[in-house]
Amino acid sequence: MRAAPIDAEAPTPAPRRSSIVRSIRCVDHGHGRDFGAGGAGRSAESRRRDLLLLAGTVLASSATGSAGRAEASDVAADAPRQPSTSYGQEGEVGGQSGAGLTQFNFSRPGPLTPVRLPKLEHTCAGCFPQCVADRCLIRLDVLYPKGPLVEGRPYPLAIITGGFLVPSEEYLSYAERLASWGYVAVLYDKIESPVDALDDIVSAEFIKEIIDWAGVDPLVSQVADNRRVYLVGHSRGGKVSVLAAQDDSRVVALCLIDPVDNTVYAPLAPGFPSAIAALNSVQETVPMAVIGADLAHDCAPEESNYKRFFDAAQSPAWEVVLKDTGHFQFLDRSTAVEKLVCVT
């Protein structure tokens, strides 16, 4: 996905909109070109690979200060006939900066092996008194890269925030793919229930606490760079990720997967601000990928869905729409309750 040739002398406009119908497409509005791809009938697993490809490209781009100039594979993710391109030194992963050009294909597992640490726990001290006792507890699942390529250490930190009451385990495939490409990926769970949920402000503080924790934990701090943070969020997790990114220079990229802002079920209220409005406070240098489900009207009504997030972006932004896809098809597995709540 490239807005202009790499050696172009003129300033390169950031791509503003791309879409996936039965392929990956990116329209370069600045030069009037349309890069299309074939590949009909792909599975949900393939579509998740597409998301990771796009998200990895955004982070690789942002890590080098070249937002809008990274190139994703222009073919179907499950049939990569042409490698992806991003900026980095030969042999590096994780979007490291450098003058060389490295061929990456984020649609397949990377060259590194994801290693899963034993489950960890941390108490969000900064969240008190908004939460007390075990309500401030964060259960963390960390995957880090291991392999012969060590030039990129410490690796960028990717924090994946799930939807409301969705177990973090349902996003494990995302963490594994990111770790294989040189990111320290963190999944986490909070203690809350439908009748006793933490508000969005406190939930955003949890993310900031995880960023701080990654810089001091004896194990994680050895491999993770908490000054280069990539926030990934699905559903409510997308909203909370935006709130956490406000005025935090450590956040270098955002990927919002079918994000949902305030709705009639979660209206504007103290502790529940609009993340769409908050995008005005996110640094203009932070690129953002917004992925939307074409059929997610039940849980992501149009007045607060991915389109609104994309339209409110102040920084270089990508929009990807997955046709014939529902809100919970982004999970590794969706439960019967989730399918009942969100029919589409």
DSSP H or E run through 232: strand 224-234
177 in any annotated domain: yes
185: confidence class by pLDDT, cuts 50, 70, 90: very high
| Residue range 17-21: mean pLDDT, rounded | 47
The answer to whether residue 292 is domain-embedded is: yes
Among 27-36, 247-256, 302-311, which stretch is predicted with the lowest mean pLDDT? Answer: 27-36
The helices-and-strands tally (H runs, E runs) of the chain is: 7, 14
Q: Alpha-carbon distance 330 to 327, whole Å?
A: 7
Q: How confident is the model at residue 43 (pLDDT cuts 50, 70, 90)?
A: low
DSSP 158-206: EEEE-STT--GGGGHHHHHHHHHTT-EEEEEE---BTTBPPPHHHHHHH
Helix, strand or coil, per DSSP, at residue 268? coil
Q: Is 3 within a domain?
A: no
Cβ contacts of 246 within 8 Å, gap of 6 or more: 204, 278, 281, 282
- Tell which residue, 289, 338, 242, has the closest CA to residue 20: 289
Per-residue pLDDT of 279-293, as tens digits, reads: 988 888 899 999 998
Phi/psi-derived region of residue 147, left when phi > 0, alpha when psi is between -120 and 50, beta in every other case: left
HSE-CB of 169 using CA atoms within 13 angstroms: 5
Q: Among residues of the chain, what percentage have pLDDT more than 70?
A: 65
What confidence score (pLDDT) does residue 175 get? 96
**Residue 307 within a domain:** yes
**Sequence-separated (6 or more) residues with CB below 8 Å from residue 35:** 1, 2, 25, 26, 27, 28, 74
- pLDDT at position 88, please? 31
Q: Is residue 31 in a domain?
A: yes
pLDDT of 49 > 70? The answer is no
pLDDT-derived band at 217, boundaries 50, 70, 90: very high
Percent of all residues in the chain with a pLDDT value above 90, rounded to a whole number: 42
- Out of 65-79, 112-126, 197-211, 252-266, which region has the weakest mean confidence (pLDDT)? 65-79
**Helix axes 44-63 and 172-180, enclosed angle (nearest 10):** 50
Task: Tell me the pTM.
Answer: 0.76
Tell me what the pLDDT averaged over the chain comes to.
74
57-104 pLDDT tens trace: 555 444 434 333 333 322 222 222 233 333 233 334 444 333 333 556
pLDDT at 52: 56
Q: Are strands 120-123 and 113-116 parallel, antiparallel or unpaired?
A: unpaired
Instruction: For tokens 């690129």, name the residue.
Output: 287
Helix (H, G, I), strand (E, B) or coil at 313: coil
The residues facing 115 across adjacent strands are 144
What domain range is 140 assigned to? 17-341
Q: For 218, which DSSP code?
A: T
Q: What is the pLDDT of residue 93?
A: 41
Cα–Cα distance, 178 to 329 (Å, whole number): 19
Q: Residue 333 carries which side chain, given as an amino acid letter?
A: R
The two beta strands, 113-116 and 101-104, are: unpaired
CA distance 280 to 313: 7
User: What's the length of the chain?
Assistant: 344
Backbone angles phi, psi at 334, to 5 degrees: -110, 140
CATH number for position 280: 3.40.50.1820
Asked whether residue 36 is assigned to any structural domain, the reply reads: yes
256 pLDDT exceeds 60? yes
- Separation of alpha carbons 60 and 73, rounded Å: 14
- Decide: 253 and 183 in contact? Cβ < 8 Å: no
Say yes or no to pLDDT of 51 above 80. no
Number of domains present in the structure of the chain: 1
Q: Is residue 2 part of a domain?
A: no
Phi, psi at residue 265, to the nearest 5°? -85, -20
